[in-house]
Structure 1
Amino acid sequence: MAVASTAARPTTESPAGGNRPPVLAFLTDEQSEVALRGGLGPLVEDLQIRRGGIGSACRAMEREPTPHVLIVDVSGVEDPALALEELASVCEPDVRVLVVGDRDELPLYRRLTQELGVHEYIYKPLTRDHVARLFGPAIAGAVVERDSGGRGGRVIAVLGARGGSGATTLATNLALSVAGATRGHVALVDLNLRGGTIGLSLGIKPGSGLRVALEEPDRVDALFLERAAIPVADRVRVIAAEEAMESNPTTTAESARRLLELLRHRFNTIVVDLPSPPGPTERAVLQAARQVLITFGPDVAGVRDALALKRMIATQGSTGHALLVLNNAGLPGGLSAQLIEEALGGQPDCVLPWLPKQIIRAMNLGQPATAVSSTFRRALEPLVREVSGAAAERRKSSLFGWLRRGDRRA
């Protein structure tokens, strides 16, 4: 996925909040700064340049909105790929990255531009003409996407085997924990348009944006979604609805695909809380998901339905990996761990303990369960590592490439 046609457009609100600058550069020397200003001055009215290298850029992007175009200096860096990997983890997925270095090496150029998804690389000493000819087209949006096989932001679907199995609690706390672990931008989407509780659990009042996005997808663009998304933590935004029970929202599989396509342009990870049993709209999300987390309780019906959902996901043509999450383990009167393992044919992928007082207290306070229960937080850690670790592995293969080109499957 690429930045919009011209980087010098007016700034827009970012998922992390605040306005996104059009072009931001980090350079280590004055000569390069002079050349950059001279070469890009006619294209960019608000060109921001700071003194520092890629390390400074990484630290800044942890705190600030990601610009549309980011220029970083890797001079003196022994392993630019490793440094760019760290940068990718803290930038919004649609950022366009240009690199300045001190090595005139064809293998390095090919690796940065063909394997890592960097739009352009130029080496010092910079000249105005050099900057204008090579960086100018990238900033103006004239760079043709190289490979349509890349990936966009990662979709994680959370689905309860039965009502009350803890899918919303899992989705909410997972989204917040993944954002903290990866420093990436995370969208938390509640597709329970009537009776959804993500808004309640985080103490926010959802608007009508999600329903509009699902009922009238032609009206929706990235800016609309950014305005409909509600910030709940650093780099985490919620997209939810609170429709009346007597309403009858009409959604389609195509509208869900359109929604995910737009979200993948802006967020590194999209966690979607799905109603169960899944209809056509929900199945479209399941097909697009890289991982599907199925929550179930320690009872016969929960185990049965969890296995049925796992089989359904395996047979619907999805490439996503289904993970079984046992919730409320240790519930009085519930099935023992041994019986559950026998029924599943193995251990659950994650086990969350029965913590009625803490979970209810967190809901009533409008806080995540991880904030009020260290026991719950520790139990969730393996799943957070699974989700965020897999995302990091994917970044290594194509860094900004998989982030910016979008997933064409949806």
Structure 2
Amino acid sequence: MTNLAYEETEANEVAAMQALRPVPRISIQAFCETEGVAQPIERAGEDRRMAKAHLKVHMGGVATAIELYQSAPTPNLIILESRKEPREMLQSLNELAEYCDPTTKVIVIGHYNDVGLYRELIRSGISEYIVAPISMADMVSVVSTIFVDPDSDPIGRSIAFIGAKGGVGSSTIAHNVAWTMSSLFESEVTVADLDLAFGTANINFDQDPAQGIAEAVFSPERIDEVYLDRLLAQCSEHLSLLAAPSTLERVYDFDQDAFAQIIDTAQRSAPLLVLDVPHIWTGWSKATLAKADEVVVTATPELANLRNTKNIVDMLKRLRPNDPAPKLIINQAGVPKRPEIKPADFTEPLGIEPMAVIPFEPLLFGNASNNGRMLGEMDAAHPIVAIMHEMAHVLTGRSEIKAKKKAGLGGILGRFAPKKK
């Protein structure tokens, strides 16, 4: 396969994954006879939609499974690869059935495209039959189909915003994009301010709720949709806020999965969840970014921001190999007398196009912040408000980022090197 064909196949897989629902907490054991089947299954196990599932891959087919389950309980799902002819395959599966718990689901991956075999397997209780070769997307899709109730309520889309450095305006943009999505599309949006010590969402939305996200994170046993609804502050007709306490009365050290239940519950309550992630690198912030449906990185056009953005982008590509690259916003472009990296030069080493380049407008942003208002409320006709509209369309899948002409790196490092006297 050529590099171009491989990249196209990989892009198609990523696109196919976007509509899939997360798989619940289940145990899966796979028994593979070939590397061509084992590798896609292992890749599927690394996908964020399978984060709650516990997957173990064994080399060896049905015979290995029979040997194991003679003395061990069967998991929620068994995935079996078999290169046997249909009659032999059915005989070996019947033998395995003697050791399987009645509630265990079974997926068979075969090498014969036989309609009669498929019907016989389904009739005998096999959940699904797939013909090799398979892709990673095939595996996540079929597991999701078996274990996710198609009649259950849809899960909201989570969009995580993080700044490449402190002070780049990530929170302000997150709040304004959330407000724009709620007002422009009249869709229910929840903002979760995860910066419990220094969060600004309550100021930006002019709210002073008595309770907020802290009550949820410190009382995980109480979290459900009813309890979370009580903690929400209503900012506008379609926008709700899980506010941070923004106090230093406590130390906010959390486990890796501290916010996972809150996020899962919030996603069941609104079609759009905006996560305002602080500029820190901890177990929980890393896990939150890894599991979000979309990640947006905000940076200003300076060298340290470029370094940090590249580190974040590269890390997220490793953590989220089956998802699109993070979206990039270049903010505060054009500060008077400040040496800056041009957008084309900034994005080239990242390999991604910016979703938006927002000019430096201290008067508009300052007035909005000091008055507890959104940009669209201060000046609906301002060009930056139009940029917020464009970003809202992109992040909700209503439009795509427009490709911009690429330029060379242009000696970025040289531009910041000390000049010779």
Shorter-chain TM band? 0.5 to 0.7
CA distance in structure 2 between the partners assigned to 1:325 and 1:175 by the alignment: 15
CA distance in structure 1 between the partners assigned to 2:321 and 2:370 by the alignment: 37
Query: How many residues in Structure 1 have an aligned counterpart in Structure 2?
Result: 250
Query: What residue in structure 2 maps to residue 194 of structure 1?
Result: 197
If you compute each CA radius of gyration, which structure gives the higher value, 1 or 2? 2
Question: Any conservation in 2 of the 1:352–1:380 contact (CA below 8 Å)?
Answer: no
Distance 1:319 1:215, change over 3 A: farther
CA distance in structure 2 between the partners assigned to 1:328 and 1:302 by the alignment: 12
Question: Any conservation in 1 of the 2:330–2:343 contact (CA below 8 Å)?
Answer: no
In the alignment, structure 1 residue 389 sits paired with structure 2 residue 392: no
348, 362, 371: which one aligns with 2:377: 371
Distance 1:192 1:318, change over 3 A: farther
CA distance in structure 1 between the partners assigned to 2:157 and 2:175 by the alignment: 16
- 1:307-344: CA deviations, max 9, x gaps? 11111111113654310110011122132334324444
How far does residue 221 in structure 1 lie from its aligned partner after superposition? 1.7
CA distance in structure 2 between the partners assigned to 1:192 and 1:319 by the alignment: 28
How far does residue 269 in structure 1 lie from its aligned partner after superposition? 0.3
Distance 1:255 1:345, change over 3 A: closer
Query: What residue in structure 1 maps to residue 230 of structure 2?
Result: 227
More off after superposition, 344-353 vs 363-372: 344-353
How far does residue 350 in structure 1 lie from its aligned partner after superposition? 1.5
- 1:10-67: CA deviations, max 9, x gaps? xxxxxxxxxxxxxxxxxxxxxxxxxxxxxxxxxxxxxxxxxxxxxxxxxxxxxxxxxx
In the alignment, structure 1 residue 327 sits paired with structure 2 residue 313: no
Query: What residue in structure 2 maps to residue 124 of structure 1?
Result: none
* Partner secondary structure for residue 266 of structure 1: coil
Question: Any conservation in 2 of the 1:326–1:350 contact (CA below 8 Å)?
Answer: yes
CA distance in structure 2 between the partners assigned to 1:387 and 1:246 by the alignment: 36
* Partner secondary structure for residue 309 of structure 2: helix
How far does residue 160 in structure 1 lie from its aligned partner after superposition? 0.4
Distance 1:222 1:317, change over 3 A: same
**TM-score (normalised: structure 1):** 0.57
Question: Any conservation in 1 of the 2:256–2:287 contact (CA below 8 Å)?
Answer: yes
Q: Which runs of 4+ in 1 moved over 6 A?
A: none
Structure 1 residue runs of 5 or longer lacking an equivalent are 2-143, 393-410
Query: What residue in structure 1 maps to residue 304 of structure 2?
Result: 301
* Partner secondary structure for residue 257 of structure 2: helix
In the alignment, structure 1 residue 167 sits paired with structure 2 residue 173: no
AA paired with 1:337?
A: P
286, 290, 315: which one aligns with 1:287: 290
**TM-score (normalised: structure 2):** 0.55
- 1:196-217: CA deviations, max 9, x gaps? 1111111111434311211221
Instruction: Report % sequence identity.
Output: 23
* Partner secondary structure for residue 157 of structure 1: strand
- Written as runs of structure 1 = structure 2, the 5 A alignment for 1:112-123 is none
In the alignment, structure 1 residue 251 sits paired with structure 2 residue 266: no
- Written as runs of structure 1 = structure 2, the 5 A alignment for 1:119-130 is none
357, 363, 381: which one aligns with 1:357: 363
AA paired with 1:155?
A: S
AA paired with 1:312?
A: M
Question: Any conservation in 2 of the 1:222–1:263 contact (CA below 8 Å)?
Answer: yes
- 1:99-143: CA deviations, max 9, x gaps? xxxxxxxxxxxxxxxxxxxxxxxxxxxxxxxxxxxxxxxxxxxxx
AA paired with 1:339?
A: D
CA distance in structure 2 between the partners assigned to 1:358 and 1:230 by the alignment: 25
AA paired with 1:376?
A: I
AA paired with 2:155?
A: G
* Partner secondary structure for residue 203 of structure 1: coil
Distance 1:359 1:341, change over 3 A: same
AA paired with 2:342?
A: S
CA distance in structure 1 between the partners assigned to 2:308 and 2:162 by the alignment: 11
AA paired with 1:207?
A: A
335, 339, 342: which one aligns with 1:336: 342
Question: Any conservation in 2 of the 1:213–1:255 contact (CA below 8 Å)?
Answer: no
- 1:344-374: CA deviations, max 9, x gaps? 4454221111111110110000001222242
CA distance in structure 1 between the partners assigned to 2:321 and 2:151 by the alignment: 19
Query: What residue in structure 2 maps to residue 214 of structure 1?
Result: 217
How far does residue 388 in structure 1 lie from its aligned partner after superposition? 1.9
Distance 1:274 1:318, change over 3 A: farther
CA distance in structure 1 between the partners assigned to 2:321 and 2:215 by the alignment: 27
Question: Any conservation in 2 of the 1:161–1:276 contact (CA below 8 Å)?
Answer: yes
Query: What residue in structure 2 maps to residue 260 of structure 1?
Result: 263
* Partner secondary structure for residue 187 of structure 1: strand
* Higher-RCO chain (CA-CA 8 Å, sequence separation at least 6): 1
Structure 2 residue runs of 5 or longer lacking an equivalent are 1-20, 22-146, 401-421
CA distance in structure 2 between the partners assigned to 1:149 and 1:311 by the alignment: 35
Question: Any conservation in 2 of the 1:211–1:249 contact (CA below 8 Å)?
Answer: no
CA distance in structure 2 between the partners assigned to 1:176 and 1:359 by the alignment: 15
Question: Any conservation in 2 of the 1:221–1:262 contact (CA below 8 Å)?
Answer: yes
